[in-house]
Structure 1
């Protein structure tokens, strides 16, 4: 049985991704940091539906701890699919932004990507197969007012993903980015009223978490073996 690790698996989008991968027959490690109870609820739902899942708890911004735990994990299993979904928001215009707000977002999103991904690469390389899917945002493509920290982290993730895709392509390991727009769940929940949605989203509605997780599931599958180094938006037509 193939295995998947989904960071930030306790959130709305992360939970939908965990469910999608479990339905595709993968054993899912549902990661959490501050909400292990939510992660356990997701894992429990997967098990109730006949799938396999367990919870793993650590702070991805803690380099030493993350690499230690993942090195121990890979001693007895190979992670076939990695979804770097964990992230955080500290929105404020840059003129009033404290360094803590800047560094917290960068550490979680960008440093967290490195901390989680690097220990899993050699096992994938030895197996000559793997899927790495990095979750981004429309903010990393177009920029969003008040999100210079978040946009910097996500756009940095885009460059890292494209470079890593080139490094791993001849090992049959794909690296792609999924960039959601306004999704009814997750970080955007409750931030956009219907009138604003109609003004900024050509499809005039928020996306559903299942529309994001379906793409992730496809990119994790054998059917997507020739797709790598791509940034794919799920945003209802936003520029």
Structure 2
């Protein structure tokens, strides 16, 4: 029977279900920094995907203290991030010096490029297509071009919605490994770490925002609200598509998304 001590380094893919269960049993007993150290040692072609939210920044800071060669970063620039988010990207680059790969919607470098191709307010007219072309397709392109086999995410179970039952390591429908090192942490613990370790943070967090995405689908929250209540407020939605089934997203997207098949 396979034991955690006998696992190969790096792991051989695809993972058998019993091996994945074994790994999760092991990782569930570790602290986030220990989970990250394990990942650097075991997970093949590991990258960190980030929109520079608090949890991802915690992971980045932990990695900077535990390895001289942290996994490179992948930032999906939808072109509709807040200016404060772009400012944070530059601050993080200067502080950590971690290699950063930026991916945008195909053949679009600016909002003007995007709206010339898809028109204005695509997120209102066809939300599935919008999510696919600004987030899902660029992410898959990044994984393909960079040879990514595993990613570090900033997801936490306390964020609720589709994340409520998170485990430390998951495998999506494409075979991509997704590591969730802070899966058990709550928002107050994340904030404590950020403050104690002087980690850069988005200026919008001091203005009533708690989870920050595109400017058109992000709102401030009030005391007592779930931390992601300001994302897609008023809609029955808790994920942008990056952490949903890729093939379902591709199927749901309208015909315009077939350009990126």
Q: TM-score, normalised by structure 2?
A: 0.35
Structure number with greater CO (CA < 8 Å, separation at least 6) is 2
Structure having the larger proportion of residues in strand: 1
Larger Rg: 2
